[in-house]
Amino acid sequence: MIARSWLRSLLPRLGGAQPALLSMAQVDGPEMSARGLAAMIPAIFACFAATVAFRYAYLLPLAAAASIGVGWGLIILMFDVALMSAAPGRSRAAQALTYGARGAVSLLAALTFAGPLVLFMFGQDIGFQLKADQQAELAAYNRQHIVPLYAAPLSTATAAITAGQQQLAAAAALVATWTATVGTDQVQATCEAGGVSGEAGCQHGSGRIGHGPVYAVRLAELANARASLTAVRARAAALSATLTPQLRALRAKVAGLQAAEQASYQNARARYDRDSGLIARARALAELERGDSLVSRAVELLTLLIITIDLTAVLSRISSHAPSYERVLQAERRKILLCSAMAEEDAADRHDRQRADREADTEIHQAEADARVDIALAEIQARAAAAMARTRGHRDEAAGPDDARPDATRDARPRAYRARAEKSYRGQDAGAGAPAEPVHSMTFAEYVRTSRPHERLAAPMAPALTAAAWTGLGLTTALAAGLATMAPRLAGPAWIAAAFAAAMAGLALSTRGFLRGPVWAQRAALAAAVAGLVLPPLILLHAI
Amino acid sequence: MKPTTTVPEMAARYQPEPTYAGQPAAWSAHRAGAPDRAGARLVARASQAGVSIGYLGTAPLFSGTRAYTGPRTDWLVSPVTSPADVVIPGQQRAQMQLLDQAGVDFPLVYIAHEIRKGQLDIGQPGGQLVEARAAARAVGPVPLHPDTVAAAEQAGRGAQLLIRVLAKALPVAGFMVAAPFVLAGAAVGALVAGLDPVVFGVVPAGSSRARQWTAGQDAAWYVLAQWDWPDPLEPTSRR
């Protein structure tokens, strides 16, 4: 219950309302709460986006990323609350400046955070793409740098080993050949000594048993063969003694080179495996976008979504109206202004009153002095009159009592003056209406607020302009509809034509069907007519 | 202070110089011979805000529209209730906005329209009540601004040229007849060119919490703005 009441008072505050004033215009309470919600949504979203961006894209620890996110959300919240609290009656330029600044912040924030959010959304796909990129780049690096570095010495050493091995093999083969020759010659000598000829593997000999001349030849051949075998064996041993250490060294060198090559490869692999930063992932995302239109569309939509969510407060402030609350707010502002003005006037009044008091005191003193003089004069006159009366009394003892004419004359003048003054005060002799008749008029504030500049008075549009503008609007609308239905591949021009047609329709609405408008509307209608008649052929030419 | 002069008499004594667009007439707080201190203070406050207003003096309020005769033209004075009376030249409007922002407030606003002699039969020299319709007919419509008229004519000429070009290029476009454009409203508005309205701010005497004022009640009258309607058929560049 407490949480609900707290939320109920918080939302209007975030919507820029002062609770004391809102209580006087409760009918606008839901509107102000909606504004508060609209101010909260971008803040929450900004908090989430900044946290994700700093955690995933910039790889900060979660606590640090969340702190930055909360900070950014508070900044956006304060920005939007300031926007909501702005005075409603500001000039259009001030409003445009405020909303423009907020829109620019929104756009920049969207461009900053859209990338990291997209990276977060497509994290798995980006991971695969990143791995493939790393392998391809490692292979390229191996091919371009590691292999050329070790290929020449390895090839030289391997060739030397091969040559040495071939020499040793040739020597061994020669030894084997001479060993076989010695064996054959030994067999032939035995055949000749036994008188065996042409059979049992024996060559043609003398066929006589015993040690004859042929046998002596056979023995000589055997002795030569043994001598050759001995010589060949000696050469083979010498060659082996020479080549074996060299071959061992070469093999060791080859092994070392191969190990170094493998180490370089492993180092490069480790380096490429570590290359998973923001740039690498952004590159992988760009490759995914190139490869799949769905990804690029998702990126565009997400950017638009972020901009839209971020602009929720601005849109809400522009589209929503709280006339009662704004009226109360303006009245309060005016009241404060008037209070200060009245205080100023009161001070001036006090000053005037003090001056009047001083003047009155002076006049009183003067009056007292005048009165004393008058009294003295009256006393003198009375004494003179008494003396004259006494004289007349003595002279006219038989005369009757005096009438009261002078007193009547003295009283009649003030009565007539008072009657005329009262009549004048009622305004009767001024020719005004009946005294009790109420006077209705705008106040000065209302007059100023509802006033319209003479320069923006709407003038009738020329019939030719009306006809041209309507024709342009019709052509553009038809072109947009035709392109959208018959040529889906020309979606771009269709959108341009549709947007232009919508703008022209808005202009038609504001000018009551291209019939009346101020200076800007006249010029806009002419521009729209020209563009509406020229744009369709241009788009068609471009399409063809 | 008892009222001694009616507003029409005060306005009749006032002969404004022909001004337009930011040339307010030179009013003085003492011009009407009523150097009231509160009036002088209000004039001083307006002056601090950068706006020159004139204090006329005190006169009773009245309702409805009253007509009275002047030396060269006649006048119609009425409380501002009609939307037609809220059209003000930009510079005068800016001046009044400055006044409003400075906290200067007038509970009532009256407007005086100058009309040509003979438009209304005004029998009583001290002024007489006039029907609202007759008054509106005599005052006439607000003339268009010369720049607006010039822009409308220019746009009309542009559209005619466009249609002619189209008609030559595409004969089917000939259905749009490019007739010469005459701005009838501007011609009507030209009839009231040179006649100036005067806007009065009125502060009734005493305090009325209900903000209801009655005819005959004493009030202080101020001139807030005055201008001449320009001739709509004469562009400002040629004036």
Say whether both A108 and A171 belong to one domain.
no
Closest CA to A313 of A103, A92, A523: A103
Nearest CA in chain B to A334: B103
Find the CB nearest A435 among B147, B157, B214. Answer: B214
Residue A169: phi and psi, rounded to 5, are: -65, -40
Which two three-digit tokens encode residue A347? 């001070």
What does the angle CA B86 – CA B92 – CA B93 come to, to the nearest 5 degrees? 50
Each residue's pLDDT, cut to its tens digit, for chain B (239 residues) gives 444 455 555 555 544 433 333 333 333 333 333 346 777 888 888 888 888 888 888 888 888 888 878 777 888 889 998 777 888 898 899 999 999 888 888 899 999 888 888 888 877 766 788 888 888 888 888 888 888 888 888 888 888 888 887 777 665 555 554 455 555 555 555 555 566 788 999 988 765 556 778 888 888 889 898 888 877 666 554 43
Q: Give the Cβ contact number of residue A443 at 10 Å.
A: 18
- The HSE-up count of residue A325 (CA atoms within 13 Å, CB side) is 27
How far does the CA of residue B62 sit from the closest CA of chain A (Å)?
5
Tokens of A119: 């990276």
Q: A162: which 2 tokens?
A: 């091969």
Residue pair A22/A29 in contact (Cβ under 8 Å)? The answer is: yes
Indicate the SS3 state at residue A453.
Answer: strand
Q: Do B228 and B81 contact (CB within 8 A), yes or no?
A: no
Quote the domain boundaries for residue A152.
Answer: 147-276
Instruction: Determine whether the interchain pair A464/B216 forms a contact, defined as Cβ–Cβ distance below 8 Å.
Output: no
Query: How far apart (Å, rounded) are the C-alpha atoms in residues A247 and A13?
Result: 90
What are the chain A neighbours of B41 within 8 Å (beta carbons)?
345, 348
pLDDT (tens place) for every residue of chain A, 544 residues total: 556 677 677 888 888 888 888 888 888 888 888 888 888 888 998 898 889 888 877 778 889 999 999 999 998 888 888 888 776 666 778 878 888 887 888 778 777 777 777 788 788 888 888 888 888 989 999 999 999 999 989 999 999 999 999 999 999 999 999 999 999 999 998 998 888 888 888 888 888 888 888 889 989 999 999 999 999 999 999 999 999 999 999 999 999 999 999 999 999 988 888 777 778 888 888 888 888 777 777 777 877 887 788 888 888 888 877 888 888 888 888 888 888 888 887 888 888 888 888 888 888 888 888 888 888 888 888 888 888 888 877 777 665 554 444 444 444 333 443 444 344 444 444 444 444 688 888 889 889 988 888 888 888 888 888 888 888 888 888 888 887 777 666 667 778 888 888 888 889 988 888 888 888 888 889 988 888 887 777 777 766 6
Note the pLDDT of residue A248: 93
What is the token pair recorded at B108? 């009532």
Chain A residues with beta carbon closer than 8 angstroms to that of B144: 457, 459
Q: Does any domain span residue A380?
A: no
Confidence at residue B239, expressed as pLDDT on a 0 to 100 scale: 39
The CA–CA distances, whole Å, from A444 to A121, A175, A221, B59, B213 equal 59, 131, 146, 18, 15
- Mutation for A interface: B87, B110, B129, B182, most A CBs within 10 A: B87
Candidates A448, A466, A535: best to mutate against B (most CBs of B within 10 A) is A448
Tokens of A528: 């729209």
B216: chain A residues, CB-CB within 8 Å: 425-428, 432-435
Pairs across A and B, CB distance < 8 A: 228
Picking from B6, B103, B213, the nearest residue to A338 by CB comes out as: B103
Query: Which residues, listed in sequence order, are joined to residue B111 by a DSSP beta bridge?
Result: B78, B199
Last residue in a domain, options A276, A303, A329: A276
Same domain assignment for residues A182 and A212: yes
Amino acid at B135: A
* Pair A19, A12: CB distance under 8 Å: yes
Pairing of the two strands A516-517 and A438-439? unpaired
Total number of domains in chain A = 3
Q: Is residue A192 part of a domain?
A: yes
Q: Are strands B128-130 and B65-69 parallel, antiparallel or unpaired?
A: antiparallel
Closest CA to A322 of A31, A92, A8: A31
Kind and range of the H or E element at A452?
Answer: strand A452-453
Tell me: do A303 and A248 sit in the same domain. Answer: no
The answer to whether B129 faces chain A, any CB pair under 8 Å, is: yes
Q: Which residues of B touch A465 (CB under 8 A)?
A: 155-156, 158-159, 181
HEC string of chain B equals CCCCCCHHHHHHHCCCCCCCCCCCCCCCCCCCCCCCHHHHHHHHHHHHCCCCCEEEEEEECCCCEEEEECCCCEEEEEECCCHHHHEECHHHHHHHHHHHHCCCCCCEEEEEEEECCCCCCCCCCCCEEECHHHHHHHHCCCCCCHHHHHHHHHHHHHHHHHHHHHHHHCHHHHHCCCCCCCCHHHHHHHCCCCCCEEEEEEEECCCCCCCCEECCCEEEEEEEEECCCCCCCCCHHHC
Q: Is residue A510 part of a domain?
A: yes
Q: What local confidence, expressed as pLDDT, does residue A214 receive?
A: 86
Task: Give domain status of residue A391, yes or no.
Answer: no
Answer for the pair B67, B76: CB distance below 8 angstroms, yes or no. yes
What single string gives the DSSP state of each residue in A300-354?
HHHHHHHHHHHTHHHHHHHH---HHHHHHHHHHHHHHHHHHHHHHHHHHHHHHHH
The residues in B 94-123 lying below 8 A from A, measured between CB atoms, are: 96-97, 99-100, 103-110
Angle at A152 between CA A149 and CA A155, to 5 degrees: 130
**3-state DSSP call for residue A91?**
coil
Q: Is residue A345 part of a domain?
A: no
And the tokens for A420?
A: 């005329």
On whether the CB atoms of residues B67 and B127 are closer than 8 A, the answer is yes
| DSSP conformation class of A208 | -
B68 and B8 in contact (C-beta within 8 Å)? Answer: yes
- Most B CBs within 10 Å: which of A330, A417, A457, A533, as the mutation test of the B interface? A457
Are residues A220 and A100 part of one domain? no
Phi, psi of A208 (to 5 degrees): -110, 140
User: Do A151 and A249 fall into the same domain?
Assistant: yes
Q: Considering only CB atoms, which chain B residues are within 8 Å of A469?
A: 159
